[in-house]
Copies of this chain bind each other. A is one copy, B any other.
Amino acid sequence: MEVLTVCLNPALDREFVVDNFKIDKLNIVPNEKNKMSPGGKGVNVAVILSNYGVKSVVTGFLGGYVGNVLLSELRKKSSLITTSFMRINDETRENIAIVDTVNHTLTEINSEGPRVNEEDIKKFIKRFEVLVQKVKVVVISGSVPKGVPNNIYGELTKIAKKYNKTVFWEARDEIITESIKIAYPDVLKYDMRRSEKVLGNILNTEQEYTQAAKEFVKQGVKLTILSYKTVYDFVANEDGVWKFSPKIQIDHSYLLGSGDTFVAAMVYANLKNKCCIDMARYGYAAAVAKTSYLGKEPPSVEQIEEFLGHITTERVE
């Protein structure tokens, strides 16, 4: 096993294509337009890694009927993925997307998600310590369910560091802010899809992004990636700070899943002994490549290598 991906709050993603979807009416979903797939950022990373031939074990909290379906669907995805979820009583999240291709609407109905109790969190941390010793790299990505403290990324990273593992995070500001009080990851990718906040402050200028990225490196993060105006990234390591830009036009509607592709491609590059800024370049090229294809399929290794030619990595400090 090469990678442990932690998905604390997995979800079953369901898609119903209902043309002319209407409120207060009976709408029928044709069978061929009723799809489901395992989701949650950590789960997505494991699935993308399996496309690159990388073995991973996925852990996190899973429960109920929805959890059972997610598990069956995830196991179908690839024999390179094994699972070691902690069972909880509550139902795992179910995210329903109703796509209307006539009126061009996307109506989402998400469940609130489970609550995890303290006993289950303790058991999970013990399980994590067993699993982490078997891998080279740990990826912790995505939201935390109710009941789980925001500093759990830090708790898990402290354990991973005890065994000298390389740790990747992709998370939102409230998780990062609390977790870095306990430990820093090797690679920090900010999930800024809904907020421009870093450590509680809204960033505006390129200068502020540069400073924020540098600050994490000063604290011990080896590589920091802050997305900027959706399609750009500020990337910092101990050698300096870079601004990444695409050379091609990016269709914003294709951005779904590009963050997970970014992380998975960096992990793949890391396992192939790419280091530092080259690892980030590889992830960014993958993310840009992802935006040129509709759907959940990640780009192939060949496509990523091609897209290394379609990005600019300009040194800003």
The interface of chain A, by Cβ under 8 A from chain B, is 16, 18, 21-31, 34, 65, 68-69, 72, 90-91, 96, 98, 100, 103, 105-113
Contacts and interface: CB of A to CB of B under 8 A. Distances in A.
Between A65, A91, A109, A113, the greatest number of chain B beta carbons within 10 A of the residue's beta carbon is seen for A109
A107 B26 CA distance: 6
A30 B112 contact: yes
A98 B21 CA distance: 13
Nearest to A114: B31
Contacts of A72: 65
B65 A107 contact: no
Contact of A112 (B28, B69, B90, B111): B28
Given A65-B69, A65-B72, A22 B107 contact: yes
A18 B65 contact: no
A107 B69 contact: no
A220 B103 CA distance: 53
Contact of A21 (B18, B23, B103, B111): B23
Contact of A23 (B23, B65, B96, B112): B23
Given A28-B112, A65-B65, A65-B72, 16 more contacts: A18-B109, A21-B23, A22-B107, A23-B107, A25-B108, A26-B108, A27-B107, A27-B109, A28-B110, A28-B111, A29-B109, A31-B90, A31-B111, A31-B113, A34-B111, A65-B69
B111 A27 contact: no
Contacts of A111: 28-29, 31, 34
Given A31-B90, A69-B65, A72-B65, A25 B110 contact: no
A18 B112 CA distance: 11
B106 A29 contact: no
Contacts of A21: 23
9 contacts: A22-B107, A24-B105, A27-B109, A27-B110, A31-B90, A31-B111, A34-B91, A65-B69, A65-B72
Contacts of A90: 31
A274 to B, nearest CB: 37
Contacts of A98: 109
Nearest to A16: B109
